[in-house]
Structure 1
């Protein structure tokens, strides 16, 4: 295959991307504590991506460089304190300062809401269930389960859903290593949404949390994610922060340099009764709320809306969109959604260029597939959708545009863009968007055929 000069240059740039270390820096107290990220070696010289914490809570990230022979802890602590003084104040004030610095009226409202919520007295988190859908990845699953069993939440259960397995590897792992602490379910119909629905039907918790088999959960993840449900009876959904567990390949670094899965460091509540003024496409830009690797729902609410559309998600022709569908369906029923950066999971990003190509196409397809699913299952939303369509098209063009580098790197400014986003990936995202509705309809037909076959 003959590639254009532009394509060859994009590939050259991609292959030249170097590895970045991952670390955590806790500035609580006089002495900063620097530690490697989950599964990472101790920090040495070179580039390092750092999560900055205050009193154990995430408050921002930075991208730093450690000269050879330098004290990494001292260099990074000085950088964090100089570029984001707010991390030296109480965590609540750090949230407010970051929002005010945005210089937008909407951000002022966000800061006020965040401070009020975080200043409230701690509440006992509700009994929770954690659902992990998996397929033939026992090694990754064991790592995830170990982190989930180390949670500080007082009352929770873990349910593993083995989706369309071809071997007994997952079942044997759970029975051998986790039998007393983890429940095992087998769901023979392929598809992430189908697996999540199987878990939803089986859980006992008041709140059901979902995460993936390729994450490492922070010890306070489940507590931070579920506690807001006890404080707000109208809360239907919660999401949290997702950061990279490793940045060792060009694909992982490229994805994270354009924001990855993170949604910022300001807690925020999305209320359909009071739509956010800075989100004109609300609630249809559901990707702004969070991602499926870190989400929770009030169990009775998610069940009442029918769970996830089984024709969406990985493992179906729709390629994705099951999480976004869940967010919008809950918001459409009038429930609120809470994003908290304190609920953290570390995600193992895909590793190769081929992986990123597949992911770009899948994200585009999942976006329009979930919108199709929402309108098919709740036609009453069509007028609101059509009213937002012109802006939505402009948003889609911006979302899939080739993006050049951009400076930054202070805590809270996660989308540093240290590497350009290749045009090849932009084109794949747009092709995926065109395909999404077709993929969703194909997935619905396949699902009906499988149900008839099973009958």
Structure 2
């Protein structure tokens, strides 16, 4: 398989689907757009609307080349259009400009990555949200680098909390316990948040008292290495641009595995919860997540737990963060195994902590196995769309990574059991 080559990542804003270019700029911290292969976020007056992949010839105007493709893209039929009846669901329009977002806390769990954390915190301090606080949870620190960064550079603008028990879910529960607000947002130390991110992520809670969780759009900040491009090609973290509302009272007709396809709801680098809803659902399972033997699944478990407790979950692309994918092939191998392990670890956690879900899971098991097989299958197809485009799997995915994902799925329940035993020993 031919290794993918680097792409520039840019941010293109149009006045309308057929309108002029308002701006073209690189993704945060990236180089200016120029000739070569380009991956572009397309906005309509600031709102994320699509992505396009283009080749900009030498001497061509990058803005006009990308705008022509973007206009064609925005005017073609969209397979991810929201269901027609969704507009009648209370609170189904998260973009209502009159909504005042509730006061919020932003929790960032970090471990020995002070340089990346500083970049994330700078973006979080530049939000247009009217009233919020930021907490950094220093998870099982080895050095004082994170503490010195937070206390020294950010002072009273960012609160520092130490959590000595390793594990992302444990760190998130600690952040939840220290938050002073009705809504708590979570993101990672390897993202750059769009200035409107927190407002867009939290405003839907003001419209819908039954809303327990909101997730948002995650796009790649860099696509420089083969590992970064392969991850994004495999689906990345993006969940499309159409808003979705997941209601346990009205399960989506187009997702027969609901609620067990939690990966379609969002990802842990971009999520917010009504604090009371998450607490009533039992919080994050401390035996899941990065830093435990389970290797992942903490966010997926929380999504299903909140839905199982009767709350709604919303996805909105208006809440955008740029994620810095890991760069090396070994990082990608670790992620592939971790994704598989996290999937079955979270399902195991859901059954252990919520046995009432067992009949529903067993009823969906045959179709779920087929779905998992298709999602982890190796692919040799060349470029056939936009890397990371939600719902497409037309880009290469090596057989070695496919095998690692499936091995991870076999390992997940054992990893979760191992993590639970370690948690008991810690207590």
Report the structure, 1 or 2, having the larger helix content.
1
Match of 1:183 in 2: 159
Match of 1:50 in 2: 40
Q: Is the 8 A contact 2:137 2:161 kept in 1?
A: yes
- TM-superposed CA distance for 1:255, in Å, is 1.1
Match of 1:322 in 2: 298
- TM-superposed CA distance for 1:205, in Å, is 1.2
Q: Deviations over 1:303-333 (max 9, x none)?
A: 1222100000000000000000000000001
Name the CA distance, whole Å, in 2 between partners of 1:147 and 1:131: 14
Change (3 A) 1:31 1:430: closer
Counterpart pick for 1:238 among 199, 208, 214: 214
Change (3 A) 1:411 1:425: closer
Structure 1's unaligned 5+ residue stretches are 1-9, 87-96
Deviates more, 1:25-34 or 1:191-200: 25-34
Match of 1:98 in 2: 78
Name the CA distance, whole Å, in 1 between partners of 2:399 and 2:342: 19
Structure 2's unaligned 5+ residue stretches are none
- TM-superposed CA distance for 1:257, in Å, is 1.8
Match of 2:250 in 1: 274
Q: Deviations over 1:280-299 (max 9, x none)?
A: 11001100100000001000
Change (3 A) 1:121 1:173: closer
Match of 1:3 in 2: none
Deviates more, 1:302-311 or 1:157-166: 302-311
Name the CA distance, whole Å, in 1 between partners of 2:61 and 2:14: 16
Q: Is the 8 A contact 1:251 1:350 kept in 2?
A: yes
Deviates more, 1:397-406 or 1:312-321: 397-406
Task: Please report the TM-score for the alignment, with normalisation by the length of structure 1.
Answer: 0.89
Match of 2:28 in 1: 38
Which runs of 4 or more aligned residues in structure 1 lie more than 2 Å from their structure 2 counterparts after TM superposition? 29-32, 82-86, 106-116, 118-122, 403-419
- TM-superposed CA distance for 1:256, in Å, is 1.1
1:425 matched to 2:401:
yes
Name the CA distance, whole Å, in 1 between partners of 2:382 and 2:364: 29
Q: Deviations over 1:172-227 (max 9, x none)?
A: 00011111200000000000000000000000111000000000000000000000
- TM-superposed CA distance for 1:84, in Å, is 2.2
Q: Is the 8 A contact 2:86 2:92 kept in 1?
A: no
Q: Is the 8 A contact 1:406 1:417 kept in 2?
A: no
Name the CA distance, whole Å, in 2 between partners of 1:269 and 1:415: 17
Q: Pairwise mapping of residues 187-226 of structure 1 onto structure 2 (< 5 A)? A: 187-226=163-202
Match of 1:389 in 2: 365
Q: Pairwise mapping of residues 48-447 of structure 1 onto structure 2 (< 5 A)? A: 48-85=38-75, 98=78, 107-110=83-86, 117=93, 120=96, 122-405=98-381, 408-409=384-385, 413=389, 419-447=395-423
Name the CA distance, whole Å, in 2 between partners of 1:121 and 1:77: 27
Q: SS where residue 259 of structure 2 aligns?
A: coil
Name the CA distance, whole Å, in 1 between partners of 2:138 and 2:22: 42
Name the CA distance, whole Å, in 2 between partners of 1:329 and 1:174: 32
Q: SS where residue 69 of structure 2 aligns?
A: helix
Q: Is the 8 A contact 1:257 1:415 kept in 2?
A: no
Name the CA distance, whole Å, in 2 between partners of 1:411 and 1:227: 29
- TM-superposed CA distance for 1:407, in Å, is 5.5
Q: Is the 8 A contact 2:239 2:264 kept in 1?
A: yes
Q: Is the 8 A contact 2:215 2:316 kept in 1?
A: yes
Task: Please report the TM-score for the alignment, with normalisation by the length of structure 2.
Answer: 0.95
Q: Deviations over 1:110-132 (max 9, x none)?
A: 57769962574520000000000
Name the CA distance, whole Å, in 2 between partners of 1:216 and 1:139: 13
